[in-house]
Amino acid sequence: MESSMNVAVIGAGAMGSGIAQVAAQAGHSVLLMDARPGAAQRAVDAIRETLNKLAEKGRLTPTEAAEAGARLQAVGAVTELAGPGLVIEAIVEDLSAKRELFTRLESVVDPDCVLATNTSSLSVTAIAGACAHPERVIGLHFFNPAPLMPLVEVVPGLATAPGLAERCGLWMGRWSKVPVVCKDTPGFIVNRVARPFYGEALRILEEGLADMATIDHAMRTVGGFRMGPFELMDLIGNDVNFAVTRSVFEAFFFDPRYRPSLTQQRQVESGRLGRKTGRGYYDHTGTTTPPIPKNDPELLDMVFLRILVMLINEAADALYLGIADRAALELAMTKGVNYPKGLLGWADEIGLDRCLSMLQGLQTEYGEDRYRPSPLLRRLVREGRTFHG
Ligand code: NAI
């Protein structure tokens, strides 16, 4: 893709603004459009302010900031999108709204314009299904905040033209992003593989095996994660995190592995959404003393390993089912959600037989399909192999 080619971004909210900034910094003229009157212009002004701040901090030269800012233009309607080579949609997460927009776009843009969706939970195939030419539709799933998070999941739908994913991957590389190609399945890579980070932590809490401060402490100190599950759910917002879990669970036809937690549902119902409401699992108003974790090494190890093997099992199954290749799975979790290591490499480190016997132990203990080990993990252990050899 030539940097002289226009890019259009539709939806000037958190994600659309971030993506527009990234595209402008990569040298493209960017048209930003939003259905709310004035929203696109406000977003352009805010991005220019961000670029100026980056220049003040020395991350960009004043010329780079001014040039990137000048490449952005707000437009009021889809019909004003003159000749983009790539459109990235980041509007409301609603299938019928997205299908309607894509249909309208098809009547406006050139036949060779690529139409991308930033959806995080809808099927790319379903969005493309509304189009006369679904072969030019693809998912480009950025992470929040888009200018800072390197990962982009590149998701071809069922009818996407062969080769388009590779082309989009090259473009994303030129935008200084780390692209990973994955199949159009619920949660793509990151939102699928990361589910047990929250779900198994909630389960351990519900069973009274450890309190949330201890679980968070275990994941940070033993696991090296930047945040524990409860701290992270409070940061993401329990409403948002619960909605993702629910949508993945429903999209997998209620596979018990992804079952949402009643504990989290009650948090949402009570309005304890996390930092944004001052109260989630923790009190964020600074008026109460934070809970103190238990410093019992055996307990911390138990908690960490139980969550880790569930994450590993998800990654193993994603590899087994061909959702993405090994390298993509490792990159996705380290570049999309800052995991300290790729899960497959981590599994090799701690030993696949150990992972398998922990999962089998949990499955026997609880008698639940939730803990069923991935067939790939079983096979590798049987054959004495690792994920990397
Ligand atoms: P947002 O609510 O901040 O922004 C959405 C914007 O789209 C709003 O400004 C709204 O006025 C506009 N809009 C709604 N319908 C429109 C239409 N028909 N035509 C034009 N503009 C329209 O939402 P956010 O968080 O930026 O998410 C946007 C998309 O990105 C969603 O599909 C979401 O699932 C996805 N996403 C969100 C992430 C996040 O962490 N917030 C991460 C990755 C993807």
Ligand 1 pocket list (CB less than 6 A) = 10-16, 34-36, 39, 90-93, 97, 101, 118-120, 141-144
Give percent of the chain above pLDDT 70: 99
Instruction: Tell me the best of 9, 10, 15, 104 to mutate to test the pocket of ligand 1, counting ligand atoms within 8 Å of each CB and taking the most.
Output: 15
Instruction: Tell me the best of 32, 44, 92, 93 to mutate to test the pocket of ligand 1, counting ligand atoms within 8 Å of each CB and taking the most.
Output: 92
Spatial strand order in the sheet of 178-181: 72-75, 30-33, 6-10, 84-89, 114-117, 137-142, 151-156, 178-181
> Ligand 1 centroid vs 15 CA: distance in angstroms?
6
| Cα 81 to Cα 10: distance, rounded to the nearest angstrom | 10
* Strand residue runs (E) in 13-119: 30-33, 72-75, 84-89, 114-117
The pair of structure tokens assigned to 71 is: 């490449």
pLDDT tens string 158-197: 999 999 999 999 999 999 999 999 999 999 999 999 999 9
Residue 82: predicted pLDDT: 75
Q: Are 22 and 29 in contact (CB under 8 A)?
A: no
> Ligand 1 centroid vs 122 CA: distance in angstroms?
13
| Cα 196 to Cα 223: distance, rounded to the nearest angstrom | 14
Nearest-atom index, ligand 1, CA of 117: 32
**Within a 10 A sphere around the Cβ of 107, how many other Cβ atoms?**
9
Task: Find all residues with CB under 8 Å of 377, minimum gap 6, and list them.
Answer: 312, 313, 316, 347, 352, 355, 356, 359
Residue 1: predicted pLDDT: 56
pLDDT tens string 202-235: 999 999 999 999 999 999 999 999 999 999 999 9
**Within a 10 A sphere around the Cβ of 125, how many other Cβ atoms?**
17
May I ask the CATH architecture of the domain 192-383?
Orthogonal Bundle (1.10)
The pLDDT mean for the chain works out to: 96
pLDDT tens string 80-138: 887 899 999 999 999 999 999 999 999 999 999 999 999 999 999 999 999 999 999 99
> Ligand 1 centroid vs 3 CA: distance in angstroms?
25
Task: Find all residues with CB under 8 Å of 281, minimum gap 6, and list them.
Answer: 212, 230, 233, 234, 238, 267, 272, 274
Task: Find all residues with CB under 8 Å of 64, minimum gap 6, and list them.
Answer: 25, 55
May I ask the CATH architecture of the domain 7-181?
3-Layer(aba) Sandwich (3.40)
| Cα 131 to Cα 61: distance, rounded to the nearest angstrom | 42
Sign of the four-CA dihedral 337, 341, 344, 350: negative
Write out the H or E segment, with its range, that includes residue 272. none
Smallest CA separation from ligand 1 atom 44, residue: 120
Q: Are 49 and 118 in contact (CB under 8 A)?
A: no
Residue 2: predicted pLDDT: 64
**Within a 10 A sphere around the Cβ of 82, how many other Cβ atoms?**
13
Residue 78: predicted pLDDT: 92
> Ligand 1 centroid vs 204 CA: distance in angstroms?
34
**Within a 10 A sphere around the Cβ of 66, how many other Cβ atoms?**
15
Q: Rounded to whole angstroms, what are the CA distances from 210 to 17, 213, 228, 298, 306?
A: 40, 8, 13, 12, 12
Residue 92 exposed, middle or buried by CB count within 10 Å (0-12, 13-18, 19+): exposed
Nearest-atom index, ligand 1, CA of 18: 26
What is the pTM assigned to this prediction?
Answer: 0.95
353: Cα within 13 Å, side-chain hemisphere:
5
| Cα 47 to Cα 17: distance, rounded to the nearest angstrom | 7
The pair of structure tokens assigned to 388 is: 């990397």
Domains 7-181 and 192-383 share a fold: no
Give catalytic residue positions.
120, 141, 153, 191
Ordered by start, the domain boundaries in the chain are 7-181, 192-383
Residue 4: predicted pLDDT: 73
Q: Are 31 and 6 in contact (CB under 8 A)?
A: yes
> Ligand 1 centroid vs 315 CA: distance in angstroms?
28
